[in-house]
Amino acid sequence: MTDLFVVANGKLQSGRARRRWAAAEARLREIFGNRVEIRFTTGKGDGTQVARQALLSGAQWLAAAGGDGTINEVVNGFFEEGRNIRPDSALSLLPCGSGNDYVRIFDISADPCLAAEALQRSAIHPVDVGLARFPGIDGRDEQRVFVNVAEAGVGGGLVAQQNDWLLRSRIGYRIASLAAALSFKPYPLQLVIDGTAAPVPTPVLSLIVAGGRYFGNGMHCAPMARPDDGLFEVITLGDFGPAEILTRIGTFFTGSYLRNAKVTHRSARTVGADCDETVYLQLDGEMVGTMPAGFTVLPSSLRLRY
């Protein structure tokens, strides 16, 4: 009988990540013995299918071993048409990625071996999930859930460039973010908050819809966000000129950028966003499609176990 079903990013089987994961896997097998099953993903999107099949087969406790992208795929395995197909099942997080932005807001060790050890003392914590509707890359209507941050603008364009090697380190991400912000053309945004049109100083560099507090390898984008309050924190970055970007890039990582007059912040349960240009959308660090997009909070819809 399996007590814990682990969906692990296939990249953990080789390269620099292999050694850290090997120690965590050994500890899991010490704790759970033959009651733990570990399944490695084989490609993009595979985590969703593996998690979905495990849940449909009766798994009550899953763990996602990887980074934010792996977590996102596994969480999408729980949800279909905005509904958690196994609301009594729980998810744990074993951070093995380069950024691990979502787990920063919880009492979860960044060391996967220590995170595995802590599962013996874990408890259930209900958290919110965001449901996003948008046109996919092929233009067809899609919907996906996310747990951390949705972003349209500079970040989506950055992820779309697929410079994975540059985005793995914090310094690399800052360099790439600076270059992307300097070259990005701000876009006019129409925003609807909880069913009411919300004025936005346009054009904007970025729209952030946050349930978590960090994205972009440690960027403190939404310090006020809570994962269990049933709200999004909706932030827009206005038309910062090149000189402003160069001199204030650090404030975007510390969260102090929110005090700038060109930044707006609102809390919301539903968000609608539209524009007349092609603007890329990313969810939890994964580029998924383009605008227009709609976002809805699914309060306390996922049982996180840590």
- Rounded to whole angstroms, the Cα distance separating 265 from 101 reads 21
- Mean pLDDT (the chain) is 92
Distances (CA, A) of 122 to 11, 90, 95, 118: 26, 11, 15, 6
Nearest in space to 167 (alpha carbons), one of 76, 75, 101, 72 = 101
- Rounded to whole angstroms, the Cα distance separating 225 from 16 reads 33
Please say whether the beta carbons of 267 and 291 come within 8 A.
no
Q: Which letter does DSSP use for residue 119 in this model?
A: G
Cα 132 from chain centroid (whole Å): 12
Nearest in space to 100 (alpha carbons), one of 110, 92, 90 = 110
Q: Is the pTM of this model over 0.85?
A: yes
Residue 275 makes CB contacts below 8 A (sequence gap 6+) with 187, 188, 189, 190, 291, 292
Domains delineated in the chain: 4-122 (3.40.50.10330), 130-300 (2.60.200.40)
DSSP-assigned states of every residue in 18-82: HHHHHHHHHHHHHHHGGGEEEEE--STTHHHHHHHHHHHTT--EEEEEESHHHHHHHHHHHEETT
Specify the residue for token string 């744990």. 92
User: Strands 90-95 and 293-305, how do they pair?
Assistant: parallel
pLDDT digits (tens, 9 = 90+) for 30-80: 999 999 999 999 999 999 999 999 999 999 999 999 999 999 999 999 999
Say what the pLDDT of residue 156 is: 63
Say what the pLDDT of residue 160 is: 57
Distances (CA, A) of 211 to 146, 150, 175: 9, 9, 25
224: left (phi over 0), alpha (psi -120 to 50) or beta: alpha
pLDDT digits (tens, 9 = 90+) for 133-143: 999 999 999 99
Say what the pLDDT of residue 178 is: 62
Query: In the beta sheet, which residues pair with residue 144?
Result: 132
H/E stretch holding 5: strand 4-8
**Tens-digit pLDDT string for the chain (306 aa):** 799 999 999 999 998 889 999 999 999 999 999 999 999 999 999 999 999 999 999 999 999 999 999 999 999 999 999 999 999 999 999 999 878 999 999 999 999 999 999 999 999 999 999 999 999 999 999 999 999 999 999 876 566 555 554 455 556 666 666 666 667 889 999 999 999 999 998 899 999 999 999 998 888 999 999 999 999 999 999 998 888 888 888 898 899 999 999 999 999 999 999 999 999 999 999 999 999 999 999 999 999 999
- The token pair at 167 is 């985005």
Q: Give me the phi and psi of 65, to 5 degrees please.
A: -105, 110
